[in-house]
Amino acid sequence: MAIFSIPGIALRAISAAVPVQCEDNETLDLIPEKDRKAFIEQTGIRYRRIAPQGVTASDLCIHAAEPLLATLKWAPADIDVLIFITQTPDYIIPNTASVIHQRLGLSKKCLALDINLGCSGYVYGLSVIGSLLQNMSGSKGLLLVGDCSTSVISREDKSTWPLFSDAGSATAIEQHDGGRWHFNLQSDGSGYQNIMIRGGGQRHPFTAASLAVHEFSPGISRNDLQMKLDGINVFNFALREVTPNITGLLDAIHVPQESIDHFVLHQGNKLMLECIRKKMKESEHKFPYSLYHFGNTSSASIPVTIVTELLAKITGQKSDLLLSGFGVGLSWGSVYLTSDHPIILPLIEV
Amino acid sequence: MDINDFIEKFSSCLNHTPTSAISPDTEFKKLDEWSSIFALIVIAMVDSDYQRVLTAEDIRNSNTLADLFNVIQSK
Of B35, B41, B47, the CB nearest to A35: B35
| Residues with Cβ within 8 Å of residue A105, at least 6 apart in sequence | A76
pLDDT at B34: 86
The domain locations on chain A are 1-201+218-345
**Cβ atoms of A112 and A143 closer than 8 Å:** no
What is the rounded CA–CA span in Å between residue A31 and residue B18? 23
pLDDT at A48: 98
Is B13 in the A-facing interface, judged by CB distances under 8 Å?
A: no
Cβ of B37 and A38 within 8 Å? yes
CA dist A154 and A150 (Å) reads: 8
With CA atoms as reference, the chain A residue closest to B45 would be A275
Compute the nearest-CA separation of B47 from chain A (Å): 8
Residue type, A312: A
C-alpha to C-alpha distance for A86 and A58, rounded to whole angstroms: 9
Minimum-distance CB partner of B55 among A232, A272, A279: A232
**Interval A135-170: pLDDT, tens:** 998 899 999 999 999 999 999 999 999 999 999 999
pLDDT per residue over A4-25, tens digit each? 999 999 999 999 999 999 999 9
**ipTM exceeds 0.85:** yes
When pLDDT is averaged across residues A240-262 and rounded to a whole number, the result is 97
d(CA A194, CA A238): 12
Question: Span A1-201+218-345: which CATH code?
Answer: 3.40.47.10
